[in-house]
Chains A and B, each alone.
Chain A
Amino acid sequence: NAGVTQTPKFRVLKTGQSMTLLCAQDMNHEYMYWYRQDPGMGLRLIHYSVGEGTTAKGEVPDGYNVSRLKKQNFLLGLESAAPSQTSVYFCASSIDRPSTQSEKLFFGSGTQLSVL
Chain B
Amino acid sequence: RKEVEQDPGPFNVPEGATVAFNCTYSNSASQSFFWYRQDCRKEPKLLMSVYSSGNEDGRFTAQLNRASQYISLLIRDSKLSDSATYLCVVNMYGGARGSTLGRLYFGRGTQLTVWP
A-side residues, CB < 8 A to B, are 31, 35, 40-45, 48, 50-51, 56, 58-59, 90, 96-105, 107-110
- Asked if residues B108 and A42 are in contact (CB atoms below 8 Å), the reply is yes
Enumerate chain B residues within 8 angstroms of A41, measured Cβ to Cβ: 108
Q: A42-B4, A45-B103, A50-B98 are known contacts. Are A99 and B32 too (CB-CB below 8 A)?
A: yes
- Asked if residues B102 and A107 are in contact (CB atoms below 8 Å), the reply is no
Quick one: closest B residue to A56, CB to CB? B101
| Total residues of chain B contacting the partner, CB 8 A | 30
- Asked if residues A98 and B49 are in contact (CB atoms below 8 Å), the reply is no
Quick one: which of A99, A100, A107 contacts B93, CB cutoff 8 A?
A99
Enumerate chain A residues within 8 angstroms of B91, measured Cβ to Cβ: 98-99
Quick one: closest B residue to A31, CB to CB? B101
Majority DSSP secondary structure for residues of B touching A = loop
> Whole-angstrom distance between the alpha carbons of A31 and B32 in the complex?
17
- Asked if residues B102 and A43 are in contact (CB atoms below 8 Å), the reply is no
Quick one: closest A residue to B98, CB to CB? A50
